[in-house]
Structure 1
Amino acid sequence: MTDRICLTRLAVTTPHGVLAHEKLEPQRFFVDITIECDVSRAGSSDDLGHTISYAEIAQDAERIMTQPPVDLIEHLAEQVAASVLQRVAAEAVEVTVHKPDAPAGVAFADFGLAGPSVSVRREQHRPVVIALGANLGHRVRTLESAMRALGRVGGLDLLEVSGLFETAPVGGPAQPDYLNAVAVGTTRLAPWTLLDRLHEIEAGRGRTREIRWGARTLDLDLIQVGDPAAGDDLRFHTDELTLPHPRAAERAFVLQPWLDADPQAQLRVGRLVVPVAELLRAADTTGIRVGPQWRPL
């Protein structure tokens, strides 16, 4: 179930409206904001960095509401919603702008917030890239099961999936060859929430984390969230997650299936945004070959 942060009745007196006098004479506006997000981590850690600061949201909304006059409260609601969705943790937002003193030419009841209001609801739709790998057990069956589980994750929409590629292991102890694939789609989830879902899918298929880069029944990696070409890709480093994936640009076993799923794919490497096709040409593709057929969806 999605958690919510609610800000109710932010009050602003400012001039907005279609009529000339409304742009000169301030009137009352009230704003309600409901943010859908995952606050479970903040509930456990008591760390503001794991949630959304409602003080910052309120200050942003007040700044938008007190901008130079505009005609429509629809425009104000849209701007407030867009400002909320810039927050990494925000999955969706509903914004209602009330204009109780609007000159509508009719009488409204003289109590509460009677009068016109506009509500908008907007969701995140960030592009996302997920890499899959397995080299223990029945690899094809495990990867197909993982794809079905990804398809059931609420807030994740898969658009394309690569074929399977068989690859020699890179680093770590001696181990069997991997089958690798990449899925691309969009998500409304915060990256750490999506990472938790990936770990749950791994654990449900016998994944353990005892040896770094060791053999595994299933490996699901979050490679990139957002669109680097548009400049809205998420870039951060924490103990649990770094975006974009710090080694993706060097891993042909990620680049090859990624290019298969999305021939126009791009990855941020330092300050540059580089086509995956270019990265693959520079990578060592020794030991990568087309894998068996599979039914990913």
Structure 2
Amino acid sequence: MTDRITLTRLAVTTPHGVLAHEKREPQRFFVDIVIECDLSAAGATDDLARTISYADVAQDAERILLQPPVDLIEHLAEQIAESVLARPAAEAVEVTVHKPDAPAGVDFSPIGLSGPAVSIRREQHRPVVIALGANLGDRVATLASAVRALGRVEGLELIEVSGLFETDPVGGPQQPDYLNAVAVGTTRLAPWTLLDRLHEIEAGRGRTREIRWGARTLDLDLIQVGDPAADTDLRVETDALTLPHPRAHERAFVLAPWLAADPQARLRVGPKIVPVAGLLRAADTIGIRVGPQWRPL
């Protein structure tokens, strides 16, 4: 299910167009914006941070329309779509730019909003890193089942899953060794929506949260959403979610499988963007071993 935020007929008078006189003489432009997002958390919590401010979206679109003249309304639509998708909650957006007074050399009906218009639809496409771990029951079967479940999450596409690494437990009570892996892919989901899906998969495989850092049938952690090298990684700090994961940079049981899945991986650590390979070289890798063979994808 996808919810929507709709802005209809944002009106701006401004000069844009291919012809010279269009760049001098302002004319009417109207914009419709339909944003696809998951509004369930906002509806439940009454928290603006879990939705998208339509006032901010409208002001950004107006700012784009009031920029120095451009030739094409396609370019305006693309810029507006890009500004919407910069918001964490946005999954997809459709933008329509109307230019009713365009000099097309023909007559359009005077009734309603007639004349040329361009509509585009763009989906969110953020890189995502998910860490998997298990140390109770049939660990390989549980992790393989979790990967299959991740592959069925609408709005998440897996690209690569690492091999398995067997690791000594870190912190918490005495418990069995873990099997760990990392999945990398892309997602159009808001990070809190994706986290909810991870928790659903955990719960479906018997995960309970009774003892902090205790043994578990399945652990799915959201490590990073977006690309730090392009400065598009999301930085989130709430009671339920922190991105990037605040301890990933020092956890060899995350870094080793992540590097195996993506040798070019990078992670934001404070103000720096650091290659995962360098973080792994600096980490304590004692207690990490290559695990059983598997074919998760």
Q: TM-score when scaled to structure 2?
A: 0.99
- Comparing 139-148 and 281-290, the one that deviates more: 281-290
Q: CA deviation at 1:150?
A: 0.2
CA–CA distance in structure 1, aligned partners of residues 68 and 272 of structure 2: 37
CA–CA distance in structure 2, aligned partners of residues 17 and 216 of structure 1: 61
What SS class does the counterpart of residue 97 from structure 1 fall into?
strand
Is 1:64 aligned to residue 64 of structure 2? Answer: yes
Is 1:175 aligned to residue 175 of structure 2? Answer: yes
Letter matched to residue 38 of structure 2: D
Q: CA deviation at 1:70?
A: 1.1
- Figure out how many residues of one structure are paired with residues of the other and give that number: 297
The match for 2:260 is 260
The match for 1:54 is 54
CA–CA distance in structure 2, aligned partners of residues 190 and 121 of structure 1: 18
CA–CA distance in structure 2, aligned partners of residues 69 and 250 of structure 1: 49
What SS class does the counterpart of residue 9 from structure 1 fall into?
strand
The match for 1:200 is 200
What SS class does the counterpart of residue 232 from structure 1 fall into?
coil
Which string of whole-angstrom CA distances, capped at 9 and with x for unpartnered residues, describes residues 164-217 of structure 1?
A: 010000000000000000000111111101000000000000000010000000
What SS class does the counterpart of residue 91 from structure 1 fall into?
strand
CA–CA distance in structure 1, aligned partners of residues 282 and 14 of structure 2: 57
CA–CA distance in structure 2, aligned partners of residues 3 and 21 of structure 1: 41
1:151-166 superposed matches below 5 A: 151-166=151-166
Q: Over aligned residue pairs, what C-alpha RMSD do you find? A: 0.8
- Comparing 197-206 and 262-271, the one that deviates more: 262-271
Letter matched to residue 61 of structure 1: A
Which string of whole-angstrom CA distances, capped at 9 and with x for unpartnered residues, describes residues 118-175 of structure 1?
A: 0111111111100000000110000000000000011111111100010000000000
Which string of whole-angstrom CA distances, capped at 9 and with x for unpartnered residues, describes residues 43-84 of structure 1?
A: 011111110000110011111111111111001101110111
Q: CA deviation at 1:236?
A: 2.2
Unpaired segments ≥5 residues, structure 1:
none
Which string of whole-angstrom CA distances, capped at 9 and with x for unpartnered residues, describes residues 218-270 of structure 1?
A: 00000011111111111121100011101111111001100110111111111
CA–CA distance in structure 2, aligned partners of residues 252 and 168 of structure 1: 11
1:99-248 superposed matches below 5 A: 99-248=99-248
Letter matched to residue 23 of structure 2: K
CA–CA distance in structure 1, aligned partners of residues 191 and 236 of structure 2: 10
What SS class does the counterpart of residue 249 from structure 2 fall into?
helix
- Comparing 108-117 and 211-220, the one that deviates more: 108-117
What SS class does the counterpart of residue 268 from structure 2 fall into?
strand
Letter matched to residue 66 of structure 1: L
CA–CA distance in structure 1, aligned partners of residues 172 and 44 of structure 2: 34
Q: CA deviation at 1:290?
A: 0.8
Which string of whole-angstrom CA distances, capped at 9 and with x for unpartnered residues, describes residues 71-99 of structure 1?
A: 11001101110111111111110000001
Letter matched to residue 211 of structure 1: I
Q: CA deviation at 1:109?
A: 1.1
CA–CA distance in structure 1, aligned partners of residues 11 and 177 of structure 2: 62
What SS class does the counterpart of residue 102 from structure 1 fall into?
coil
What SS class does the counterpart of residue 127 from structure 2 fall into?
strand
Letter matched to residue 98 of structure 1: H
CA–CA distance in structure 2, aligned partners of residues 231 and 165 of structure 1: 30
The match for 2:282 is 282
Unpaired segments ≥5 residues, structure 2:
none
CA–CA distance in structure 1, aligned partners of residues 266 and 194 of structure 2: 21
The match for 1:80 is 80
Q: TM-score when scaled to structure 1?
A: 0.99
- Superposed structure 1 runs of 4+ greater than 6 Å apart: none
1:5-84 superposed matches below 5 A: 5-84=5-84
The match for 1:89 is 89
CA–CA distance in structure 2, aligned partners of residues 168 and 241 of structure 1: 25
Which string of whole-angstrom CA distances, capped at 9 and with x for unpartnered residues, describes residues 263-284 of structure 1?
A: 1111111111111111111111
CA–CA distance in structure 2, aligned partners of residues 54 and 231 of structure 1: 24
CA–CA distance in structure 2, aligned partners of residues 154 and 229 of structure 1: 26
